[in-house]
Structure 1
Amino acid sequence: MNLTFTFSPGKILLTLLSFCLLAYGVSAQTQKKNAAFQYHIRRAAGPIVIDGIMDDAWLKADSASNFYMVIPMDTSKASVHTEVRMTFDNNNLYIIATCYNKGEGQYMVESLKRDFNFVKNDNFIFFLDPFDARTDGFSFGANAAGAQWDGTMYEGGKVDLSWDNKWTSVVKNYPDRWIFEAAIPFKTIRYKKGVGVWGINFSRNDLKTTEKSSWAPVPRQFPTASLAYTGSLVWDELPPDAGTNISLIPYALSGISKDYQDKTGTAWKKEIGGDAKIGLTSSLNLDLTVNPDFSQVDVDQQVVNLNRYELFFPEKRQFFLENGDLFANFGYADIRPFFSRRIGLNAPIQFGTRLTGKIDKDWRVGLMDIQTGASEAAASPAENFGVLTLQRRVFARSNIGFMIINKDATGSTTPGNQYNRNVGMEFNLASSNNLLTGKLLGIKSFSPGLKGHDFVAAGHLQYLSKYWTAYLQEEYVGKNYTAGVGYVPRTGYNKISPLLLRNFFPKSGDILSHGVQLTSNYFFDERFKRTDNESTLAYIITMRNRSVFTLSGINDYIKLLVPFDPTNTGKTPLPIGTENHWNTVDAQFVSKPQALFTYLAEAAYGGYYQNGHKTSIIGQLGYRFQPYVNIAINSSYNDLKLPQPYGNTSFWLIGPRTDVTVSNTLYFTTYIQYNGQVKNINTNIRMQWRYKPASDFFIVYGDNSIPSPYTVKNRQLVIKWTYWCNI
């Protein structure tokens, strides 16, 4: 008798637990945890000049101070003083934050480049939830040298820093404090007309004291971005209507490239195109694109791939980013029915439209249609991609999501290549205090010639407190499930993933916290026979200076379901059914982030396929010449000792990177990557000048070369101009 996923014990347990959480959600109070924290915002008493000076126009605004410590401990008021004031006029929301020093010493920043690493910079950031729904919003801020930070917020506390829009800010340094002042146009943020209470919280990171604090208190196990713990921004009068909100973003591009391997001639490229953003309402936006170009996208960071499945690289293209979580975060990290990087990288996008935003406090919508042209080089026909997604907020912070995806080959009648469709629904659970979260997911695909075993059923439940973390996830992906425009690297499996963590907090000494963590990933086929698993037992020590040491023991078992070369270099693959079992010991140390010189060191030694052995060494070095130069080197070394025909194989991956920031509007980046596994050297040199807010001029040079003997494979140089114009 065949045992199907329906009767798997993990799924039954997960379903019961999920419905228990649903019952909890129905009965849970919807009152905000920090509803008593209110900031009353009033219209500006006079003109506001963004110059980093606390002038008379600010003195009549209310102030928010007396921040609470979040890290190292969340049981007291902050030791560093921060004071925030806000006001507005018909066009802008204004904010000024005075961040006082405690003791002597220079500020710690990486550089002047925008969207910096939070933990490595003294910074002030605030979080806006215009619907006070505690699920999504916006984040703005700066580090102590004036580098800007902006992003959209999703899933109750995550920030997508790829989002970019128009706003202005200035940071001014004084002997005893630094001041951040900013103007956020109402056209930049999405909000509902007539809503007079928004969610708000302010966050301060001070590396000299290793202290992170917030205005409305946040438990230390959560980020200060957690929207479940925002206070309230109470408007003295309703926020003004943003009015006509239309932005045109044209671009012009010129480039030259040459492929030395194929010995083709020099290719010249000249293109024009652009985007338009149309605010249909103050919270609903229509994006249009014609002949888009994505040449300003950062080069992907390479990795040594010793995995049997496809790697994931995140989307960075601006057209896909606003409200991108509606599309990109449906499902799980390894079950994404929609993955926008499938679109437009191998075939040109001719045009596209996106309608995204909030209809009201409870409803979000996303509608996308993109048409690509045919590509002979990639043997790809012209295709149309259509996506509809809806999200309905329920209970305190939970939501129900629905998605339809349609991919049609509009220029081909090849059998089996006409279409692929996905229909899915998910229930995302989040308690009002964020201690309990979970998900139930179901997706079905429709493809020519494939019937049965063509759906996904998955879910998880998590409990997260200061002392305990408990997590259980279960997945089923049918062997015929197909996501033609998604990221699903593996099909035909059941998976059970538990996690248990216990933290301890000494009352004194250099150790801030330490704890034991057990994680497992067990995979079974559709008959629920084990195919592979990985279990890790780790001991984690976090010091008061924020350095972290982790010691792990890892147990692996793999039964190959497809032929696989364990070196991933094209050698004879191991046959289907080969069984492998090994253990690994791993140690990692991450240095304190407040030093000018930072580093990460990791070493692992253990078994590998065919009773072989693998030694891995990973290093990351960084040094900053504040605030203008940040140098980083990422490297990894893998040494594989295997029986013939593989023998001994070793790979180096080295990636030095230098960021030079002349100002917070002029950046130079040089990135070189040597990948010994694929025998390639990639060089990327980029200059970006932000001559106006959200308007840029780029010069990008890139090449790929064979290391030995050094031979250039291809080169390209691109010059691009963009301009953001509000009508």
Structure 2
Amino acid sequence: MDEPAWQAADVATDFHMILPMDTSYANVRTDVRMVYDDQHIYLLVVNYNGVPGPYMVESLRRDFAFLKNDNFLLFMDPFDDQTNGYSFGANAAGAQWDGIMYDGGKVDLSWDNKWSSVVKNYPDKWIFEAVIPFKTIRYKKGISKWGINFGRNDLKTTEKSSWAPVPRQFPSASLAYTGALVWDVPPPDPGPNISVIPYLLGGVNKDYTTGKKAHYRGDGGVDAKIAVTSSLNLDLTINPDFSQVDVDKQVTNLDRFELFFPEKRQFFLENGDQFTNFGYSTIRPFFSRRIGLGVPILFGARLSGKLDKNWRMGLMNMQTDAESSQGLPAQNFTVAALQRRVFARSNVGLLFINKESINYQPSADKPVYSRYNRNLGMEYNLASSNNFWTGKALLLKSATPGKTGHDWVHAANLQYTSRVWNISWQHEYVGHNYNAEVGYVPRQGYIKLLPQVTRLFFPKAGAVLSHGPQVQLTNFFDEHMKRTDNELLLSYGIVFRKRNTLNVWTTNSYVRLLQPFDPTNTGKDSLATGTVHSWNTVGVDYVSRPQSLFTYSFSGRYGGYYADGTRLTLGGELGYRFQPYVSIALSTTYNDIRLPQPWGRNAFLLAGPRLDVTMTNTLFFTGFMQYNEQLKNMNLNTRLQWRYRPASDLFIVYTDNYLPAPLAIKTRALVIKLVYWLNI
């Protein structure tokens, strides 16, 4: 801090409190200084201790959970459009955080780029210093004002604060409430900005169930990032590999419809919000996991970014190889998105998706695939200037050979969020012939109505920070407005000042089955189409305060089930951290389902211990096991990651799958992957 540049820099201080209450200045002092040269932005932050004692962090792992760490974050809006931007920061132990911002306040932590930082701790404070190259971010050339805010989370005092004031009902990342960063001259042109990221891979895997010899493989590929303009980026990939990605977290599946597992492959996640945020959680016309799982991706390209302050675009094309054993042809996937800002923070978006089978001739003894599937959609995203009103209106149309009529979707929602009220309405219509083969739409042929009201109360003193009831009614009808499902949810939530939470709830459920369904999802007999089932359920959820070294949560529910049966579900997670190096967690779920014959009693245990060891903020080891009694499978996965230089990694991944009883190995695999980031 005694360097002349920092002594001469302006100081941003006098932060505003967000939590526990947003009506005063923060009690915990934070001082921020920023300077720049022709290639970098420099940041120096002094985070003073609110009360004596050690800092609190989960680990040294990158992209930590915001609410579980003492941390400082920078939120920048280099287009000053209150919608898109970047976030950088660190926790008190030096673990880095970086992400790309979208939707006016959400942070996609899959974004990864080159920058450097260091944290040093003192008895009365911890200091964070960072250098961010102009080439790492995208901004409009010539712009002299950026939106900016700084966020601080101090677990010892349970205080969350920000430099520019943010209402407590919104995240500190909300770009509707940024302050201004004014440049004396516009930021410099970063010049040519090209990154080449090759990888080399070696591995071996063996399937013990078939008795075949072990299969060895060596592979390589390359990604490239090219700045077409200062705000528009071209990403290229040839023969990508995602073997280092975490395996999916298993769940006990008692649902009638396909479950959603999030995308974890970085190429699809970076700058992908224009594609993936189109629609709703169960109406996703584009879902990138439909591309390249179980079949190799040969190459792909994505052009994305800002054309100017009002226009944003995304264009992606991916080519997959054929898979002869399943008769799957080579396929091409094209996705195009265009977004226009309107009013203060709202936008109108267009989306086009085309999946095309290349030179496809169906085979009589293999599954039949469609020659093409296309989707065209338009949506309006509402975000008022103060963020109190948000919503979306959506229209989609699909085109598939042999499916005509009732092949469209319309949906809309509107939400009002104040300090004490959260009121929303949502309705959906999905035609029975609507088809999104590159999307996630688990249910067709329905109309859905979903009103919801939440009211919060704020005691002036005591252990409780806020509490209040919620009422939610979910109604499903068929296309002739005949009721098929409905659920009434009544809940009461309590948030304590130490940030532990308690929620108690009850539901009344009604289901008229539209197709046969096995209520245990184990391949037993099915309940008949048209049968009617109704039941009541009570439940409770509790999460302990995050600042403790020992953390825990539990949930429970008991009530009726299909065919006049009963269902008991108990779940929980125990965690302990030897900060900042070791974190241990154990999560379990137990389901006890009692039904008439032929199902009888069915008990399913799902258990998953996890170990995270962060030797430094560049060397990580993760190991976890998942035991799934419903699937009769035990999975072991370990991963060592060494970030030997910024954005360059060495991965060693080992995976086993076992039959639990008797314990017998099914498959085993080992992969070593080296990634190098080169700026040209």
Per the shorter chain, which TM-score range?
over 0.9
Q: Which residue of 2 aligns with 1:330?
A: 278
- Determine which of 215, 229, 247 is the counterpart of 2:195: 247
CA distance in 1: counterparts of 2:456 and 2:552, whole angstroms: 25
Deviations 1:566-603 (A, max 9, x none): 00111111111111100100011110011001110111
Q: Which residue of 1 aligns with 2:393?
A: 440
CA distance in 2: counterparts of 1:435 and 1:541, whole angstroms: 22
Asked if residue 113 in structure 1 is aligned to residue 74 in structure 2, the reply is no
Q: Which residue of 2 aligns with 1:558?
A: 511
SS of 1:337 mapped into structure 2: coil
Q: Which residue of 2 aligns with 1:91?
A: 39
Q: Which residue of 1 aligns with 2:365?
A: none
Asked if residue 298 in structure 1 is aligned to residue 246 in structure 2, the reply is yes
Structure 1-normalised TM-score?
0.92
Greater mean alpha carbon deviation, residues 404-413 or residues 654-663: 404-413
- Determine which of 246, 265, 268 is the counterpart of 1:320: 268
Letter in 2 for 1:176: D
Per-residue deviation, 1:606: 0.4
**1:99-248 pair list within 5 angstroms:** 99-248=47-196
Greater mean alpha carbon deviation, residues 262-271 or residues 660-669: 262-271
Q: Which residue of 2 aligns with 1:539?
A: 492
Letter in 1 for 2:294: N
Q: Which residue of 2 aligns with 1:37?
A: none
Per-residue deviation, 1:321: 2.2
SS of 1:187 mapped into structure 2: helix
Q: Which residue of 1 aligns with 2:597?
A: 644
Letter in 2 for 1:715: R
Per-residue deviation, 1:136: 1.2
- Whether the aligned pair in 2 keeps the contact of 1:357 and 1:365 (CA below 8 Å) is yes
Q: Which residue of 1 aligns with 2:541?
A: 588
- Whether the aligned pair in 2 keeps the contact of 1:630 and 1:659 (CA below 8 Å) is yes
SS of 1:341 mapped into structure 2: helix
SS of 2:256 mapped into structure 1: coil
Deviations 1:197-219 (A, max 9, x none): 01100000000000000000000
Per-residue deviation, 1:378: 4.2
CA distance in 2: counterparts of 1:225 and 1:376, whole angstroms: 48
Per-residue deviation, 1:422: 0.3
Q: Which residue of 2 aligns with 1:351?
A: 299
SS of 1:126 mapped into structure 2: strand
Letter in 2 for 1:341: R
Per-residue deviation, 1:104: 1.1
Asked if residue 572 in structure 1 is aligned to residue 572 in structure 2, the reply is no
Per-residue deviation, 1:57: 2.2
Q: Describe the shift of the 1:570–1:692 C-alpha distance in structure 2 as closer, same or farther (beyond 3 A).
A: same
Q: Which residue of 1 aligns with 2:257?
A: 309
- Whether the aligned pair in 2 keeps the contact of 1:532 and 1:556 (CA below 8 Å) is yes
CA distance in 2: counterparts of 1:140 and 1:707, whole angstroms: 43
Letter in 2 for 1:389: A
Per-residue deviation, 1:520: 1.9
Per-residue deviation, 1:56: 2.7
Asked if residue 687 in structure 1 is aligned to residue 640 in structure 2, the reply is yes
SS of 1:610 mapped into structure 2: helix
Q: Which residue of 2 aligns with 1:619?
A: 572
SS of 1:192 mapped into structure 2: coil
SS of 1:319 mapped into structure 2: helix
- C-alpha RMSD over aligned residues: 0.9
* Identical aligned residues as a percent: 63
Asked if residue 494 in structure 1 is aligned to residue 464 in structure 2, the reply is no
SS of 1:64 mapped into structure 2: coil
CA distance in 1: counterparts of 2:4 and 2:248, whole angstroms: 48
Letter in 2 for 1:251: Y
Deviations 1:420-455 (A, max 9, x none): 000000000010000001111000000001110000
| Larger RCO (CA within 8 A; separation ≥ 6) | 1
What runs of 5+ residues in structure 2 fail to find an aligned partner? 363-367
- Whether the aligned pair in 2 keeps the contact of 1:291 and 1:351 (CA below 8 Å) is yes
- Whether the aligned pair in 2 keeps the contact of 1:468 and 1:500 (CA below 8 Å) is yes
Instruction: Spell out structure 1 runs of 4+ moving beyond 4 A.
Output: none
CA distance in 1: counterparts of 2:80 and 2:36, whole angstroms: 19
- Determine which of 502, 515, 525 is the counterpart of 2:468: 515
Letter in 1 for 2:520: T
- Whether the aligned pair in 2 keeps the contact of 1:347 and 1:378 (CA below 8 Å) is no
Asked if residue 707 in structure 1 is aligned to residue 655 in structure 2, the reply is no
Deviations 1:21-62 (A, max 9, x none): xxxxxxxxxxxxxxxxxxxxxxxxxxxxxxxx5533211111
CA distance in 2: counterparts of 1:172 and 1:56, whole angstroms: 20
CA distance in 1: counterparts of 2:134 and 2:4, whole angstroms: 23
**1:651-690 pair list within 5 angstroms:** 651-690=604-643
Letter in 1 for 2:231: S
Structure 2-normalised TM-score?
0.98
CA distance in 1: counterparts of 2:568 and 2:266, whole angstroms: 39
Letter in 2 for 1:703: D
CA distance in 2: counterparts of 1:379 and 1:54, whole angstroms: 68
**1:297-446 pair list within 5 angstroms:** 297-414=245-362, 417-446=370-399
- Whether the aligned pair in 1 keeps the contact of 2:328 and 2:369 (CA below 8 Å) is no
Asked if residue 59 in structure 1 is aligned to residue 7 in structure 2, the reply is yes
| Alignment size in residue pairs | 675
